[in-house]
Amino acid sequence: MAEIVLKNITKKFGDVTAVKNLDLSIDAKEFTTLLGPSGCGKSTTLRMVAGLERPTAGEIWIKDECVYSKEKNIYVPPGKRKLGMVFQSYALWPHLTVFDNIAFGLQINNKPDIKAKTKKVADILAIADLLERYPNELSGGQQQRVAIARVLVMDYDILLLDEPLSNLDAQLRMDMRAELKRLHNELNSTIIYVTHDQLEALTMSSNIAVMNSGLLQQYAGPMDVYDQPANLFTAKFIGNPPINLFEAELKIETGVRKAKLSQKLELLLADKKFDALEAGAEINIGIRPEDIEIRPIAESPDAKYKGEIYSVLPAGSEWYFKVVWEDKIITVSEHSGMDLEQDDQVAINIEAETIKLFDNQGLLIK
Ligand code: ATP
């Protein structure tokens, strides 16, 4: 059995259903991220695993032990679930130094090597020179790192982290992502991480559970979630700049399938996976900005699709272009150094296999 199993979990707060019929199975040593917009139910899910909220229905299992089941009248309280938690709103002891805040759990449990262990996590989190200070002498980001250190030092097999990097500035967030990833490999712990930041999820996780309105949308590895988004919600939520999406109607002309995006715009659907689609079907087409190639029209005067540069948005190594494509505006990303300016005519190329197609229920056709 997996390390952590949620079986058909529902959580209601009065009329609000925060989590609905959630099944999730998390293997030992994985870094699993619950990802979704504000209010989608990710913190509630984490709090149920921790034992801080009781599900309205369903069961939770940790390491082959049922820790919650309403039907079987089982509830194991947080302290007995043997897991560490770091929350967005952490509370450090104001009257203790950083050292004592970190070492507190080790001290009350009479653990050995307190000094060495505390020093080690302080080093990892770059707060070793702050050990003598008090919390009110620290910045928000430093306090957050102390809160993380305090949990890491306990060496739990399972760590629950709820937006632990949210108070840090962009540079520190980036560094801390790398540290947390290294730490995960080093500690061999199972981590459940909550964030609304898709980049954080993509860069750190072994698996991502995408949630929206209390419902699980997709549970897969980061590259799958990105390349094979199970539905329109996931396609839109993951990716920056966002995916280009168009409502369309399927047409078949002399056996050739096309997506009719507008009166003026038809996109050839040459990939075999679209062969089962019937004429007249309502579909959505998704194309990631990096799957669209643009070139000066002079390089490819006979191109099938043509457009005009609406604006150029250089962003260092990556350049973004807004391109007028008949009666649509699309976002294209290219590596820097493209010799293209506003109002230039361009050839547009889209490889058939990169086109994502969603049926009238919004589900990806594979
Ligand atoms: P955020 O990123 O903003 O923290 P979230 O995805 O973690 O959001 P939850 O905090 O799990 O979302 O909340 C899910 C839904 O449940 C929301 O509609 C929220 O208002 C509601 N909710 C959460 N906790 C409670 C509570 N204690 N009482 C009433 N409603 C609650």
Give residue ranges with CB within 6 A of ligand 1: 13, 16, 18, 36, 38-44, 196
- Contact predicate 356/235, CB 8 Å: yes
Span 193-201, mean pLDDT? 95
Ranges 82-86, 207-211, 335-339, most confident: 207-211
Domain at 292-349, CATH class: mainly beta
CA-wise closest residue to 166 among 47, 86, 53:
86
Name the residue of 6, 12, 43 to mutate for ligand 1: max ligand atoms within 8 A of Cβ.
43
What pLDDT, on a 0 to 100 scale, did the predictor assign at position 267?
94
- Contact predicate 358/365, CB 8 Å: yes
Q: Give the predicted TM-score (pTM) of the model.
A: 0.92
Nearest residue (by CA) to ligand 1, atom 25, is: 13
Question: For residue 242, is pLDDT > 80?
Answer: yes
**Bridge-partner residues for 147, per DSSP?**
none
Question: For residue 162, is pLDDT > 80?
Answer: yes
Span 240-256, mean pLDDT? 94
Q: Where exactly are the structural domains of the chain?
A: 2-230, 241-288+351-365, 292-349
Burial of 75 (0-12, 13-18, 19+ CB in 10 A): middle
Domain 2-230 has CATH 3.40.50.2300: no
Nearest residue (by CA) to ligand 1, atom 3, is: 38
What pLDDT, on a 0 to 100 scale, did the predictor assign at position 69?
97
* CATH number of this structure's domain 241-288+351-365: 2.40.50.100
Atom of ligand 1 nearest to the CA of 88: 4
Span 182-205, mean pLDDT? 91
Cis peptide before 222 (omega within 30 of 0): no
Q: Is the complex ipTM higher than 0.95? A: yes
Express each pLDDT in 103-129 by its tens digit.
999 999 899 999 999 999 999 888 999
Q: How far, in Å, is the centroid of ligand 1 from the Cα of 318?
A: 36
Work out the percent of the chain whose per-residue pLDDT is above 90. 76
Express each pLDDT in 299-349 by its tens digit.
999 999 999 999 999 998 999 999 999 999 999 999 877 889 999 999 999
CA distance 340 to 50: 53
Nearest residue (by CA) to ligand 1, atom 17, is: 39
Helix (H) or strand (E) holding 199: helix 198-204
What pLDDT, on a 0 to 100 scale, did the predictor assign at position 23?
98
Query: What are the structure tokens assigned to 36, written together?
Result: 């979704």
What pLDDT, on a 0 to 100 scale, did the predictor assign at position 125?
85
Helix axes of 98-108 and 140-152: crossing angle, nearest 10 degrees: 20
Residue 152, number of CB atoms within 10 A of its CB: 24
Same fold: 2-230 with 292-349: no
Nearest residue (by CA) to ligand 1, atom 11, is: 41
